[in-house]
Amino acid sequence: MTQPLAGAKSVGTENELDIRGLFRVLWQGKLWIVGIALGFALLALAYTFFAKQEWSATAITDRPTVNMLGGYY
């Protein structure tokens, strides 16, 4: 009663991940992967050249007093 079923072993091995097969498929499609990455990089570069710059900065300063300068020395 505690013996494994004959078909249970083959079902367990079918559920494994084939790492070599995965890397083999990725290596075969390396030109597609590099091409798509370069395409998006070129699109991003073109966007940085043609996009309108929108930035601003404001600052409020006042003259330092003797008490403020005493903390620096």
Q: What angle do CA 26, 27, 29 make, to 5 degrees?
A: 65
Q: Is residue 3 part of a domain?
A: no
DSSP annotation string for 57-69 = ------PPPHHHH
Domain membership flag for residue 42: yes
Token reading at 34: 């590099």
Find tokens 């699109």 and name the residue.
43
pLDDT of residue 1: 55
| Domain membership flag for residue 12 | yes
Q: What is the pLDDT of residues 4-51, one digit of tens each?
A: 666 555 555 677 889 999 999 999 999 999 999 999 999 999 999 999
C-beta separation of 33 from 26 below 8 A: yes
Asked if the structure places residue 20 within a domain, the reply is yes
Distant-in-sequence contacts of 36-40, Cβ < 8 A, 24+ apart: none
Residue 2 lies in a domain: no
Domain annotation covers residue 39? yes
57 in a structural domain = yes
pTM: 0.50
